[in-house]
Chains A and B, each alone.
Chain A
């Protein structure tokens, strides 16, 4: 196969841009370390990791659902919120400790998301994709405002009581809390479980088959509706766990708390390559770092943080719509 000179030029240009980008990032990081000292830099990196690992749990749900039904489930951030509230009730009302509370939140979110899928998305399976997308936005608003009613969760900020005391360790001047450690451990555990389900079980095989070709999977005798429900269930369980971890890290909850983390996780999923599980993880870690580093190193940074996050989305769409790990695929007509 011979490449036309124009294509060759394009490819060379692309590699040049990547190389430039790589050099730029390395140079930028070195400059950041030099600016305020390594302790300041690594403190920000640790804080970014904490956020990134939470984003990862949310982003996985986005990316899995997209991989299977090609739907961006905008209600995902609100399922995350419900997880935080479920654990709040478990901890403050019933005095449960961390592990039962997080399991409870995961179960509640799983049931909720299965109901959402059955009621809102399943009837639209054959409808144009935009219909399902608009419905997802509708479900998102419904969850936010229904739970904001007085007799549900109320529209107030609620102080979240942590199920354990905060412990701070100082390692070379960098402060690491037990919350950061727990977030990283829990997320890693859940990721390993997910990896096992997707690549080592029959259900996982069915999921992968469905994501490759929905119709063919059905012809092979796979229960596609069951697989879709399972995907929503797994995504919701992860989002529920994320909600608990987020509320423990930032101990105040409100029914609108899912909007921003949900959108950030969506950007992270796109950045990593939507539909791709390791991609979502890498994208989320990057998003977490971008969030904290922008605030730490730019004056008035917290106003620019969201701007940068969504700038990433635009740049990814313009430069590499398939994301870091996503593969280009031909749209089936």
Chain B
């Protein structure tokens, strides 16, 4: 029965890949020999993928990401990135089964999804969630059930740390943290000559709140002033009151650490109020649905830039473009890295046992698209941030900031 299901799954996967290959216009041949799509649309493994995928025993991996709701494009990119790494490994002969679950960037939905993939589907490894507020409840379940979780993009410290300050044995992440991102953006604001800043954040979102707090502390420590530090709630749509304060305070820079959707709404109202400050933000801006014309001249910190010349980045970018017809965003990149870190750890462990794999992961040396990754004591990767500028209606690589 299970075998039949697997066969069906395989057929469906191949068909969907083939179909997606058909619907996208055939890209002009690229001079990179590692990633030319065949007519059937199957993925030719790259050299690096073949190295990683040395495992042969079947494993079951759950991808728990938001596929609907406020930040669905984040979830879809993450799914695509992770699936690409997994399909590369599959193409190298590794029988990997994937369970997809929609967790909607919501604490409750995420708990339900995690329980489902662990208890019903029997997955031993979870890639996800995107949002910190959803990853934290999953991490508690993973820790209790001894299931290995690697979150591609959740930046809140509490994802990998217990309340008593000890590290969660089974939980890792592929991205840098809120404190780092907040500090980077505060430093950038100072560098841009800002003296007064406004910070607006969603108080119900751990990630956004974390970024706001660290940016404020860091900006003030460097001599800046934050006359407007205002929280709003997820359902707010009228920002005229807050923006009235911002206009009256005459700030140089406005830090909007929220995700693209809320920022689109806030930026539209900033324009109507005639406020001229520079807008800056975190990696929550990184979406094709960000309305670039509203953010012209703004900056945000990100995990990688497609302009990075390293071959591992260029190979990944061209392979992803060939497959999905778009430049990979940071979400897809981190999910790809997260999946490859997981696969490499499983391959190194040589057994389908999350406890052994977790030990291997803690000691990993991995060269990824988002930088060289190794883990510190608290299961956080050590790497650099890329600053992206919105210029001429598109994203332009500005510079790297190393810790």
Contacts and interface: CB of A to CB of B under 8 A. Distances in A.
B238 A291 contact: yes
Interface residues of B, number: 31
B241 A44 contact: yes
B377 interface: no
Nearest to B245: A296
Given A252-B261, A302-B231, A303-B231, A155 B68 contact: yes
B239 to A, nearest CB: 8
B244 interface: yes
Interface string B58-85: 0000000000111010000000000000
Contact of B264 (A50, A249, A252): A252
Interface in A240-261: 246, 249-252, 256-257, 259-260
Tell me which of A50, A155, A157, A246 has the highest count of chain B C-beta atoms within 10 A of its own C-beta: A157
A163 interface: no
Interface string A293-326: 1111000111101100000000000000000000
A188 B127 CA distance: 54
Contacts of B268: 251-252
A135 interface: no
A117 interface: no
B288 to A, nearest CB: 12
B57 interface: no
Contact of B70 (A157, A293, A294, A303): A157
A302 B69 CA distance: 23
Interface in B160-191: none
Q: Is chain A's interface secondary structure helix, strand, loop, or mixed overall?
A: helix
Nearest to A251: B268
Contacts of B241: 44, 47, 291-296, 301-302, 305
Contacts of A157: 70, 261, 264
B86 to A, nearest CB: 25
Contacts of B248: 36, 40
A177 B272 contact: yes
B205 interface: no
B199 to A, nearest CB: 12
A302 B236 contact: yes
Interface string B241-285: 110110010000000000001001100110011100000000000
B265 A156 contact: no
Contacts of A92: none
Interface in A156-201: 156-157, 159, 166, 168, 175, 177
Interface string A22-37: 0000000000000010
B237 interface: yes
Contact of A150 (B68, B236, B238): B68
B166 to A, nearest CB: 32
A157 B274 CA distance: 25
Contacts of A295: 240-242, 244
A107 interface: no
Contacts of A302: 230-233, 236, 239, 241-242
Contacts of A301: 230, 241-242
Given A291-B238, A292-B241, A303-B203, A251 B265 contact: yes
A43 interface: yes
B272 A156 contact: no
A303 B233 contact: yes
Contact of A154 (B68, B242, B269): B68
Interface of A: 36, 40, 43-44, 47, 50-51, 150, 154-157, 159, 166, 168, 175, 177, 246, 249-252, 256-257, 259-260, 291-296, 300-303, 305-306
4 closest A-B pairs by CB: A295-B241, A47-B240, A250-B237, A157-B261
